[in-house]
Amino acid sequence: MEWFDTWGLTLIVFLPLAGALLLGLLPRDNEDALKGTALVVTLAAFGLSLLMITQYDFGGGSYNTYQFEVNETWIGAINSNYHIGVDGISLPLLVLSTFVMVLSVIYSWNHWEEPYNPKGFLILMLILATGMNGTFVALDLVLFFIFFEVVLLPMYFMIGIWGDRTPRKIPGFSREIETRLYASIKFFLFTLFGSAFMLLGFLALYFRSGEFGDRTFDIIQLTELGGMGAFTGTFAFLVFGAMFLGFAVKVPMWPLHTWLPDAHTAAPTVGSVLLAAILLKLGSYAFIRISIPILPEEAASWAPAIAILAVIGIIYGSLACLAQTDMKRLIAFSSVGHMGFVMLGIATMTDIGINAAIIGMVAHGLITGLLFFLAGSMSHRYHTREMARLGGNMKLMPIMGGILAFTAMASLGLPGLAGFWGEFMALVGSYNPLDGLPLGVFRTSMVLGAIGTVLTAGYMLYMLQKVNLGEPKEEWLDKEFHDVDRFEMTAWVPLIILIVIIGFYPRIVFESTTDTVVSLVDTVFGSEITASLNSGG
């Protein structure tokens, strides 16, 4: 497998892009060829990522050591390299990304939003795939920045072109504008705003690193420097703040979340699936991969603030859900809550918390992805997402209703399903945060988070009650509803199975993450940091 060690990762990242180019050459009307190519490409990427699991040495080793590493000069002038690699933290997310991508292609086989243009849509999906996979493996800040941004354009077009066309009255705008137009540009500007500051932060790190040798964007080297306490004081504060803006927008953390409900509601089904399943993870992943290891002290001193924002997000998101009348918008807001748990886990700065965050990301990716699939398919059939008009779905489409119920249960963190571990362990972590962090804040967060789970259950049941149960409204009685079709099944069943498996055997995720995270925490939060925290309070 010599070739695989060197080329495997690059292939996983760039196969989709190559596929996109290929699709560009194919004729627009030869649909089967288009779909086929897309499927083959994504399957190939997924297969390679599975192969990578088999080849990956779970012996772990200490943090900041990566496997399948590639390090080639890219922009010599600024000493920025094409440096990629995976470790226990990024591996599950990479697999998740390739996996969901395959399912999305399968799903979109017979689900095309208007205006009908499979070619364009598939191309965008594949570009998106490259961006997402790349972000998870990039080990160079500039490279990371590029991949991080590459996802913007496809998503912008997905939302803008295939998005929801219902006009909406938006406060601050004189006339009504179509949701898709508002949402797409909002998404774009929000993210760009964040990443502008993120970039400034990266550059600052780059120049500061010059004081300890060559200036570098290399995450590994910067992590080492960070471990040696190279970045401290106001500088570190500003840099962390700048990067925080960039990442927090993507997560999204309260109060930078408002692009999310609009984007999700407006986006076409596959768009919102990918958005929820993977794009949101880019931000939280970046916290784990960049903010914490490179600026550990700063991270620790920001931790309480992050925890508080996270908890606000949990409560706020759940409450907002209860006020929604639009099914998709409700699910979108639920993401705010769930990502709140992820960020709470990260904020604890402990191995438990960070593991919780990672499995939380994976679970949220699977569950909310599935929820958006369902929401899409239902609005495909009902042509409305207004829960007031829905109801009795169980009668009209029993299987769909059953799956919806299952997913809702998973989403509210039912133990035995994937969603549970992220939430539970986030709470566990916040009971004993990193030594020296204010216990009061974190334990309060724990309690509030636990209360948040109740609210979560509340709106999920509310949704089921509105959508699934009761007698169907008159307007549907005379209509023909075809239950879940085979493409939907093929796309969903793997998700369901995985949700159950992870629920009962989370080890398949932790096996990969634990050692890495533990050594991450051990290495970056050495005794001196906790000591300084304790002294500084």
Partner 1 sequence: MTWEIDYLALAPELVIVVTLLVVLALDLFLTRPNKYWTATAAVAGTALAAIPLVILAVEGENVSMFEGSYVVDEFALVLKGLFVVSAYLVLLLSHHYIESERFYQGEYYFLLLASVLGSLVMASARDLIILFIGLELTTGPLFLLAGWRKGDAKSNEASVKYFILGVLSTAILLWGMSMLYGLTGEITFAGLATATAGLADEPAMIVAVLFVIVGFAFKISAAPFHFWAPDTYEGAPTPVTAYLSVNSKAAGFVAFLLVMYLALPELSEIWAPALWILAAASMTLGNLSALRQSNIVRLLAYSSIAQAGFMLVPFAAAAVAGTNIEEGFSATVIYLVIYALMNVGAFATVIAGANRTATGDIDGWAGLGKIDARLGVLIGIFFFSLAGIPPLAGWFAKFAMFRAVILAGGTATVVLAVIAAVNAVIALYYYARVIKAVWLDDAPAEVPARAETPPSVSLRLALLISAALTIVIGFFPAIATFVGDASRIIAAGG
Partner 2 sequence: MGAFSDLLLIAAEEAEHAEIHAGDGGWWADTAGIMLILPFVAYLLIIFFGKRLKYQGGEFAVGALAINLLWATVLFVMNMTGGVLDQTTFEIARIGSDLVFELGWVVDGLSIMMYFLVNFVGLLVFIYALGYMEGDVRVANFFASFSIFAGAMLVLVGAPNLIQLIVGWEGVGLASYLLIGHYWEDMDNVKAGNKAFMTNKVADVGLILGAILLGLAIGDFDFGHLSEAAVAGNVELNAVALTGGFLLFFGAMGKSAQFPLHIWLPDAMAGPTPVSALMHAATMVTAGIYLMARVFPLFQNMAQDARPWMIAIGAITLFAIGLLALVANDIKKVLAYSTVSQLGYMMTAVAAGGYTAGLFHLFTHAFFKALLFLGAGSVIHAVHSNDMKDMGGLRKYMPTTYWTFIVGSLALAGIFPLAGFWSKDEILATLGHEGYTTVMWIAIAGAFVTAFYMTRAVALTFFGEYKGHGKPHESGKLMARPLIGLAIPSIFVGVLNIPGVDWPGIGNFTEWLGVRVVAMGDYHPESVDFGLAAVGLAAALLGIVVGWMIWGADRKTQEERDSFAVPVLYPLLRQKYYIDHAALGIVGATTGPLARFVDWTNTYIIDGIVNGVGALTRGLGTFVYGILDQRGVDGIFNGLSAVADSAGSGLRKLQTGRIQQYAASFVAGAIVLAVVFVLVS
Alpha helix (H) residue ranges in 257-397: 259-266, 269-274, 280-286, 292-294, 296-322, 327-348, 351-382, 393-396
The contact mask relative to partner 2 for 175-194 (x = CB under 8 A, - = no) is -----------x--xx----
Distance CA 289, CA 305 (A): 19
- Token reading at 236: 């570190």
Is residue 159 a contact point for partner 2 (CB under 8 A)? no
Alpha-carbon 98 to chain mean position? 13
Nearer to partner 2, 225 or 349 (CB): 349
Nearest CA-CA partner of 73 in 65, 63, 58, 83: 83
State the Cα angle at 324 between 318 and 327, rounded to 5°: 100
> Among 120, 252, 419, 506, which residue interacts with partner 1 (rule: CB under 8 A)?
120
Contact call for residues 334 and 474 (beta carbons, < 8 A): no
Distance CA 193, CA 182 (A): 16
Is residue 34 a contact point for partner 1 (CB under 8 A)? no
**Residue 6: CB atoms within 10 Å:** 12
Q: Phi and psi at residue 229, in whole multiples of 5°? A: 75, 35
**Among residue numbers 145 through 164, which ones bind partner 1 (CB under 8 A)?**
145-146, 149-150, 152-153, 156-157, 160-161
Q: Pairing relation of β-strands 167-168 and 80-86? A: unpaired
Distance CA 448, CA 411 (A): 18
Contacted by 312, from partner 1, partner 2, none: CB < 5 to 8 Å by type: none
Contacts of 146 (CB under 8 A, 6+ apart): 134, 138
- Taken in order 117, 122, 127, 128, the sign of the CA dihedral is positive
In the complex, the smallest distance separating the C-beta of residue 524 from partner 2, rounded to whole angstroms, is 14
Is residue 237 a contact point for partner 1 (CB under 8 A)? no
Contacted by 352, from partner 1, partner 2, none: CB < 5 to 8 Å by type: partner 2
Contact call for residues 93 and 30 (beta carbons, < 8 A): no
Distance CA 296, CA 303 (A): 10
In the complex, the smallest distance separating the C-beta of residue 185 from partner 1, rounded to whole angstroms, is 6
Contacted by 304, from partner 1, partner 2, none: CB < 5 to 8 Å by type: none
The position carrying tokens 């179509």 is 178
Contacted by 227, from partner 1, partner 2, none: CB < 5 to 8 Å by type: none
In the complex, the smallest distance separating the C-beta of residue 279 from partner 1, rounded to whole angstroms, is 16
In the complex, the smallest distance separating the C-beta of residue 215 from partner 1, rounded to whole angstroms, is 9
Contact call for residues 46 and 99 (beta carbons, < 8 A): yes
Distance CA 57, CA 410 (A): 31
Is residue 187 a contact point for partner 1 (CB under 8 A)? no
> Among 45, 93, 132, 142, which residue interacts with partner 1 (rule: CB under 8 A)?
142
Residues that bind partner 1 (rule: CB under 8 A) add up to a total of: 35
> Among 8, 261, 283, 436, which residue interacts with partner 2 (rule: CB under 8 A)?
261
In the complex, the smallest distance separating the C-beta of residue 485 from partner 2, rounded to whole angstroms, is 19
Is residue 192 a contact point for partner 1 (CB under 8 A)? yes
The contact mask relative to partner 2 for 310-329 (x = CB under 8 A, - = no) is ------x--xxxxxx-----
Q: Which residues bind partner 1 (CB under 8 A)?
A: 28, 74-78, 115, 120, 142, 145-146, 149-150, 152-153, 156-157, 160-161, 180-181, 184-185, 188-189, 192-193, 196-197, 199-200, 203-204, 206-207
Under the rule (CB under 8 A), what is the footprint of partner 2? 170-173, 186, 189-190, 255, 258, 261, 316, 319-324, 351-352, 355, 392, 394-395, 409, 414-416, 420-421, 424-425, 427-428, 431-432, 446-447, 450-451, 453-455, 457-458, 461-462, 465, 468-471, 504-507, 510, 514-515, 517-518
